[in-house]
Amino acid sequence: MTIAMQNLEQSFFPKELEAKLQKIKLAIFDIDGVFTDGHLYYTAQGETIKAFSVLDGHGIKILKRNKIKVAIISGKKTEALLARMKDLQIEDLHCGVDYKLPIYEQLLKKYNLSKDEVCYMGDDIPDYPILKNCGLSVCAKNSHAIILNTCDWVIDIVGGSGAVRQLCDAIIIAKFGIDELLNQEKT
């Protein structure tokens, strides 16, 4: 590995989070404000339109290729969300959830995981109970102030613009090294 690659690997995420990232076996995400910029766009017919980053989607695919489980817990349920998650082949999709903590607890039991093996990325108060109870709590920089002050890691990217991807890449780099990330297209 070149010195430039070693430096990249060492600067990709806060060094103090490396041990937490290495333990992750399940990554759970909220949607609005995480996979999207948090804005809701409505057509004249009342249909909701959302924009999703291709970067984030590729990050999810990389996690799945490396046997990291992925789940979604979202307060909203829209056709756009369902279509994108179907495209990403997300099996643990929980939409229209008002209180998210019981779903989180069900996922821990389903996969026989401890909270230290789970990371959660959210952006607002409904995410707070999980963020306080998971092994690694993460949010994008445009999250609610309480969430910004709760999370282990505030990614310096806004939701919907690659923040999910940065978390996905950090998990892969911490667990397997940067070469695993760079060699994903060979699988």
Q: Say what the pLDDT of residue 110 is.
A: 97
Tally the domains of the chain. Answer: 1
Q: What is the CATH number of the domain that holds 176?
A: 3.40.50.1000
pTM for the structure as a whole: 0.92
Q: What is the pLDDT of residues 81-130, one digit of tens each?
A: 889 999 999 999 999 999 999 999 999 999 999 999 999 999 999 999 99
> What is the C-alpha to C-alpha distance for residues 35 and 73, in angstroms, rounded to an integer?
12
Does residue 126 lie within any of the structural domains? yes
Name every residue whose Cβ is closer than 8 Å to that of residue 40 and which is 6 or more positions away in sequence: 32, 48, 50
Does residue 114 lie within any of the structural domains? yes
- Which amino acid is residue 74, in one-letter code? S
Does residue 98 lie within any of the structural domains? yes
Does residue 109 lie within any of the structural domains? yes
Domain that holds residue 121: 19-186
Does residue 1 lie within any of the structural domains? no
Residue 80 — pLDDT band, cuts 50, 70, 90?
Answer: confident
Q: Say what the pLDDT of residue 47 is.
A: 83
Does residue 8 lie within any of the structural domains? no
β-pairing, 118-121 vs 153-155, is unpaired
